[in-house]
Amino acid sequence: MARSGFLALLFAALVAFVPGVAAADTLRVGLSTRAGPFDFAIAPAADQTLAVRAAYETLVRSAPGGGYRNGLAARWTTSRDGLVWTFQLQPGRRFASGRAVDAKAVIFTLDRLRAIGRGNASMLNDLIASAQPAGTNAVRLRLTHPSPALLALLSDRMTSIIDPSIANRIRGDRWGSQWLATRTAGSGRFQLQPGSQRGIHILTQQPYWQPLKGDPRPSAGGFDRLIYREIVDPTVRRLALEKGEIDIAFLLPSQEQKRLQRSRRGVLHRAPILAFNNLAFNLQSKAMQDVRLRRAIGHAIDVEGIIRYIRGGTALGFAGPVPPSMPGHATGRRFAYNLAMARRLAAQSHKTGRPLRFIYPGVSPETDTIAQYIQATLKPLGLDVRIERLSVPAYLDRMSRGSYDMVLQGAVIDFNDPSAIMNAWFEPTRAGISNPARYSNPKVTALIRQSEREMNPARRRQLIEQAARLTHADVPYVYLSQTVMTIAARPNIKGITIDPFDALNLPVGQMQRGK
């Protein structure tokens, strides 16, 4: 038995035989990537923090059918001009430390995010002029301009409310990022146990947690301990599920899903989520300057073939940039697969003659196959594509530096608002990981800025559609697919649902082990 598996079993056995301690029912989850850092403000990818989602709560939450519902905030009001928002906190909420969740905690969290300023926090920097207490259990936010995206931002995992006492835990670490990288300090139902073994992350119930107002009480016979194991190899992850070593396996590629179905030792739960795959062109690279060449590449890629034969139906066609669940999606457009047109455009375009550097993250056999397919399908266009399979840290570093001509982009959208896409993929100040095309168009930027302030839904939709049409003409991306999220589970695990707006947050409070 692997050392990590032995340690997990040993932990459970020790608890089971301690006098007076009942053996808790443990949910065991297999992760597809290395976990951490656990600080939402600095973690570049959503799946890095999956293991600690149950340790935190946000002010508001996305509602299953759209819109927003209460989280730590029981209710909220806004001024007529949309510049002042007041959030009334639910009484009696406590962090795992026992400290009250109050206005000071919310203000500390928002100030911290704005000071760190990474990712979506940069949007908060531009939006929030001040955050002040309106009593012990209420917070008043003054905005620099009206924003239709405020509630969406406050539902993002990034804005999970943090215990302010962590700021004093480490000398010289004012905002506690070093401390939070390996620990939790939230008000959620669970807390990460200190000293977890490498690759194994154990969470237990925190003593002060109660269901949020309006939520059902946790299911009788539910789980009171969570163990997340890092099992990066998808075949090993699938075998661990079949053997009963784990209860849930995240992000199995289509080949492993088919093997699991044949074994009948697991159940697949599926739903489309806000995660997308695109081919991004580095527009700052001389090799990708000619829009005719970018269009030629778009027409040469058989997207339906990728979805059907490589991704095994675990994806949907995506006519970007805005998905159907968001305002402004009506302008979506995909390249028609047309090899004759692709060859004609490529022949007319200016090519540098040097090999094209195509980077992608080596996270699964599917990404390997997609990269190899793109390499092969562009060869008849006279393009010598050199693919580079990179580890996730190396991949992110290369995107940050712009050292590539093309990149296979995997984008997980954090909240259900078009600004989550438009302010990332097309924002010149976020060139790199968020905007791998390194796209910049002043007209598009101006339209996006207007849409950020427009509270009239119809007018806002028009602005987004106009910006999208301009980006279609510029071809910074070839939109490939929208991911259908699959959670593979043991047949006796009940109550699994997938929130399309928060897909990596397991509903552990409503899950239980059936017979």
The tokens for 200 are 């194994």
Please give the angle made by the CA atoms of 471, 376 and 440, to the nearest 5 degrees. Answer: 20
pLDDT at position 84 is 96
Are 199 and 4 in contact by the 8 Å Cβ rule? The answer is yes
pLDDT at position 102 is 96
| Tens of pLDDT, residues 244-259 | 999 999 989 888 999 9
| Tens of pLDDT, residues 53-91 | 999 999 999 887 678 899 999 999 999 999 999 999 999
Predicted structure pTM score: 0.81
Q: Which residue has the higher pLDDT, 173 or 31?
A: 31
Low-confidence winner among 57-61, 176-180, 475-479, 500-504 (lowest mean pLDDT): 500-504
The tokens for 38 are 């656990």
Reply yes or no on whether the pLDDT at 2 is more than 90.
no
pLDDT at position 241 is 97
Percent of the chain with pLDDT over 90: 61
Q: Which residue has the higher pLDDT, 444 or 271?
A: 444
Kindly state the average pLDDT of the residues 34-59: 87
Reply yes or no on whether the pLDDT at 142 is more than 80.
yes
Are 275 and 482 in contact by the 8 Å Cβ rule? The answer is yes
Are 22 and 31 in contact by the 8 Å Cβ rule? The answer is no
**Residue 1 pLDDT grade (very low, low, confident, very high; cuts 50, 70, 90):** very low
Among residues 220, 249, 244, 216, the alpha carbon closest in space to that of 232 is found at 249
Q: What whole-number distance in Å separates Cα of residue 273 and Cα of residue 99?
A: 35
Q: Which residue has the higher pLDDT, 47 or 379?
A: 379
- Residues in Cβ contact with 264 at an 8 Å cutoff, skipping those fewer than 6 apart: none
The tokens for 360 are 């992608």
Reply yes or no on whether the pLDDT at 14 is more than 50.
no
pLDDT at position 168 is 67
Query: Strand ranges (DSSP E) for 71-113?
Result: 73-78, 84-89
| Tens of pLDDT, residues 167-180 | 766 666 778 888 89
| Tens of pLDDT, residues 104-125 | 999 999 999 888 877 666 678 8
pLDDT at position 171 is 67
| Tens of pLDDT, residues 421-456 | 998 999 999 899 999 999 999 999 999 999 988 989
What average pLDDT does the structure give for the chain? 88
pLDDT at position 194 is 83
**Residue 312 pLDDT grade (very low, low, confident, very high; cuts 50, 70, 90):** confident
Reply yes or no on whether the pLDDT at 218 is more than 90.
no
Q: What whole-number distance in Å separates Cα of residue 471 and Cα of residue 321?
A: 9
